[in-house]
Amino acid sequence: MAEILNWDEIKEEFHQGSLLLGNGSSIAVHECFKYESLYEKSVELGYLTEKVQAVFEKFGVNDFELVLRRLWQAKLVNEALDLPRGEVEIAYEKVRNALISTVRETHVKYDDARLHLQSIYKFMQSFETVISLNYDLIVYWAAQYGNNTLGNWFKDCFQSSEFRNDWRNLRSPYYAKGATLYFLITTVAQPA
């Protein structure tokens, strides 16, 4: 059986490694990011039709990402069987848009998250790379909060509104004693 270790016991082994953040990190800041909360709010706001709610019920979940993944897989099955585009793609778009709209509507306010930002950036600064799979602004806010104290420590690899493909060159400190690159990667993507 796998043993779960306390971070303080192993952190020296991972100095300057990479940190991958999932939804649990956002939930630690505010409960509005829990799947159950997002689902209930989405239904309350009318973003999920009864037909689309039936998809969640069929799988017995309130997890938008799982439902999106399964709808995407159904789309692939339909393509393999040469079935015409239709209800699966429509449902995917409705779930995707519902998630985006619900997060936009319920996102924690900066002032409510601020008390967590210092501890978050201090934790993130010990990593070379931070990757957030969340669809919120917590990591971005923490990085900017940290930069106000540390200088240009946290870099998002954008310059003049363009993503730098040579982002590895940004690892060198610039008006700071260190550097952490951070990437905000949304998991609510359009299916190909």
Three-state helix/strand/coil letters over 1-41: CCCCCCHHHHHHHHCCCEEEECHHHHHHHCHHHCHHHHHHH
Q: What's residue 58's pLDDT?
A: 95
pLDDT for residue 191 is more than 70: no
**C-beta of residue 182 within 8 angstroms of C-beta of residue 130:** yes
Entry pTM: 0.80
pLDDT for residue 32 is more than 80: yes
What is the share, in percent, of the chain residues with pLDDT greater than 90? 52
- In tens, the pLDDT along 136-146 reads 899 999 999 99
The residue-averaged pLDDT of 36-44 equals 94
The residue-averaged pLDDT of 89-103 equals 93
The residue-averaged pLDDT of 143-172 equals 86
Closest among 112, 167, 170 to 137, alpha carbons compared: 112
pLDDT for residue 34 is more than 80: yes
Sign of CA dihedral 186, 169, 145, 160: negative
pLDDT for residue 186 is more than 70: no
Q: What's residue 143's pLDDT?
A: 95
pLDDT for residue 190 is more than 50: no
pLDDT for residue 76 is more than 90: yes
pLDDT for residue 178 is more than 80: yes
**C-beta of residue 106 within 8 angstroms of C-beta of residue 38:** yes
Q: What's residue 81's pLDDT?
A: 93
Q: What's residue 157's pLDDT?
A: 81
